[in-house]
Amino acid sequence: MEVIIGFLMILIIGSFSLIGLFMISIREKTLDRILFILVAFATGTILASALFDLIPEAIHHLEELNSSGAGIAESLVFVFIIFGFVMFFIIERFIYWFHGHAHEKENKLVCYTGIGEGEDYSLSRSSGVKSFALLNLIGDGLHNFLDGIIIMVAFLSGTRNGIIITLAVVFHEFPQEIGDFGILLYGGFSKKKALFFNFISGMIALLGGLAAFILSGTIEIFNLFFLAFSGGGFLYIASTELMPELIKEKDLKKSIIQAMIFLSGIILIMSLVTLLPHE
């Protein structure tokens, strides 16, 4: 049952790639307000999911394996956490490096460092699809593949974990897909093609879910590895991608509001961890 729910949640989150339909019809000022809330909330949920769900669940999984005679060192969990943190850094740098080089070759379009790799361009566009838009599709596909693995592993570890991680991914994915759609438009895609290719990229998450389902059944340590790996990845996303967006806010009133929204995200995840039964 958990596997079916897992694939259903992956499908729903993958469908967020159609967010461009929502973007086209909404006013920019309203969209900014929505993103203001979502970024702060996503920071809290992603951080809390790593510290109160993924990492503790990895340790719990290790204890279960050792109780059946596996004899795995406890320090291995933290090795996997660091590995996840470092790998997310490497993947981001790799995509950013190619992205930056693509910009240098494409009439000096200027890239912004906004949330979820969303880009703000000073447009001196020529006709045709820009290479940075294609690179963004590849990077987004990889990101979605990892999301699929993370969600499926969470559900395979229990419905509670799956629900918590799905919520965290939802709040992070919404602003990211808005940014990705914008990149494709500015990169030369028509609105229809941008929606289509962004949707295909989103559906790659299903392949990640399938890979997790197959590997978890054949490799005993896979769930332990990926729970810890995902914990490290979530720590990286919260601390280096999302938190800096909150720090950029200079207005005191808005900063206080963001802090309250951030804390509410943490409280939500802590409440779910406490209230939902552990399988």
Give the DSSP letter string of 95-159.
HHHHHHHHHHHTTTPPPP--GGG---------SS--HHHHHHHHHHHHHHHHHHHHHHHHHHT-H
The predicted model scores a pTM of 0.77
Residue burial 148-159, b: 16+ Cβ < 10 Å; e: rest: bbbbbbbbbbbb
Q: Collapsing DSSP states into helix, strand and coil, what is residue 276?
A: coil
What is the spatial distance between Cα 153 and Cα 150, in angstroms, rounded to a whole number?
A: 5
Is the pLDDT at 207 greater than 90, yes or no? Answer: yes
Average the pLDDT over 24-44 and give the result. Answer: 79
Average pLDDT, the chain: 81
Query: In this predicted structure, what is the pLDDT of residue 128?
Result: 66
- pLDDT class of 95 with cuts at 50, 70, 90: low
What is the rounded average pLDDT of the residues 19-48? 80
189 pLDDT band, cuts 50/70/90, is confident
Largest CA distance in the chain: 63
Quick check: 151 and 9 in contact, CB under 8 A?
yes
Assign 98 a pLDDT band (cuts: 50, 70, 90): low
